Structure 1
Amino acid sequence: MSALLEIENLRAWYGASQVLHGVDLRVGAGEVVALAGRNGSGRSTLAKALMSMVEADGARRFAGVDLAPLRTFEIARLGLGYVAEQRDVFPALSVDENLRLGLAKRGPGARAGALRASPRGALRRAPRFTIDDAHALFPILLERRSARAGVLSGGEQQMLALARALVGDPDLLIVDEPAEGLSAQMAARVGACLHALRERGVALLLIEQRLELAPGLADRVAVMGHGRIVFEGTPQALVQREDVVRDWLGVG
């Protein structure tokens, strides 16, 4: 499987505090990789480093394009989407306005060389997800299309954040703790959305603490601890590593 996302010796800081200490990771085209670990292990910082949202160095390439000199919106326009743990909807805008802000944009905002190297290839390809698809996956967003995003429940805001990322037509989507704080019913709907993404060929870097959504979804699992990858393998291989589960995931 060809590498879509390549990370080598990635380090990152918040001010003088170093959080990532040399992370190596790859995600193939259409692959689902679950990134697990305790809170504070560096998982969210890794996502932010990829999106140029924190100070970082080391190699990070998307479809062969060096991400280091790019700004966040340029990275997004390459086809690397990001759904933050905080959801980050625009509370004063309507649901429909939030979705339309996520629509894929190409051209002046992205560097020409980066666009040519993008896995999208010719820009004539039809998007994999439209606003109609988002409404089909999350009917509540159609019902509440005129409501301000700030009045939605936490679960509804998570669905809106995911849908907004989808209509950006990503080739790889980073999703940080998508089921955190959601009811079992809402979490199941989010899980169905992630499965639909995989079926349509979108690669996923799925950040989870307890791997609730990963079984049956992830091709590989990477476990982080103290800002490094301490295990990488299949979900089945992780189950056999009781030491990794005990020492780095904090469960039985």
Structure 2
Amino acid sequence: MAWFSRRDRRSSKPNPGEQRLTKREVGRVPLLQVQGLDVYYGRAHALQSVSLELNQGVLGIVGRNGMGKTTLCNAIVGLVPASGSVKVAGEEILGLSPHEITRLGIAYVPQGRRVWPSLSVDETLHLVASHRRDVERIYTMFPRLGERKRNGGSQLSGGEQQML
């Protein structure tokens, strides 16, 4: 999961009753605050009242298989239904769609890499992009992919495959 310092593209006007934090206040609150997070898969209680606070920096979530690491990340970015509270820089995001959460600058890159090994980077991007300008924008965001545009997916490093 990553936080990109990107301006919120939603309306700059807060909803009635909603208060936005100033830049100074944002520096004083945890970057990520999870309180009482519960996730169910059917009748199975996968996450039980998880609470944590993270300040800005680098973080790793470590645990044995089946302990809820992926479910926690999926709940934070809105990929699975959850109850409780998830705040980023003081702003509640639980209940927003994954698309809305991404627009706030929060992303989750799962470990699995689904690349076509025989297609070049350029062929892959043109296959999945809606417009040519999207491909150029991707090359601008990830210059390393531009350098490797003729390489096949299987020739990329793990990090490059995640970029792709």
Same-fold status (TM-score > 0.5):
yes
Other-structure match for 1:153:
154
Note the C-alpha offset of 1:133. Answer: 6.3
Matches within 5 A, 1:129-168: 131-132=139-140, 134-135=142-143, 138=144, 141-145=145-149, 152-153=153-154, 156=157, 158-161=159-162, 163=163
Other-structure match for 2:23:
none
Q: CA separation in 1, counterparts of 2:40 and 2:106?
A: 22
Between the two proteins, what is the percent identity of the paired residues? Answer: 29
Q: Deviation per CA, 1:186-230, whole angstroms, max 9, x where unpaired?
A: xxxxxxxxxxxxxxxxxxxxxxxxxxxxxxxxxxxxxxxxxxxxx
Query: Which amino acid letter does the alignment assign opposite residue 21 of structure 1?
Result: Q
- Quote the RMSD (CA, aligned, Å): 3.1
Give the TM-score of the pair, scaled to structure 1.
Answer: 0.43
Other-structure match for 1:28:
55
Q: CA separation in 2, counterparts of 1:15 and 1:155?
A: 38
Q: Is the 8 A contact 1:96 1:146 kept in 2?
A: no
Q: Which has the higher strand share?
A: 1
Q: Deviation per CA, 1:46-92, whole angstroms, max 9, x where unpaired?
A: 00001111121111011222112210010011011110122356898
The structure showing larger relative contact order (alpha-carbon pairs under 8 Å, at least 6 residues apart) is 1
Q: CA separation in 2, counterparts of 1:88 and 1:75?
A: 23
Other-structure match for 2:3:
none
In structure 2, runs of 5+ residues without a counterpart are 1-27
Q: CA separation in 1, counterparts of 2:155 and 2:46?
A: 28
Give the TM-score of the pair, scaled to structure 2.
Answer: 0.63
Stretch moving more, 80-89 or 65-74: 80-89
Other-structure match for 1:81:
107
Are 2:17 and 1:9 aligned?
A: no
**What secondary structure, in the 3-state scheme, does the structure 1 residue paired with 2:96 have?**
coil
**Rg larger in 1 or in 2?**
2
Moved over 6 A (4+): 90-93
Aligned residues: 128
Q: Is the 8 A contact 2:39 2:47 kept in 1?
A: yes
CA gap 1:96/1:13 in 2 versus in 1, 3 angstroms: same
Q: CA separation in 2, counterparts of 1:40 and 1:142?
A: 37
Query: Which amino acid letter does the alignment assign opposite residue 123 of structure 2?
Result: S
CA gap 1:75/1:28 in 2 versus in 1, 3 angstroms: same
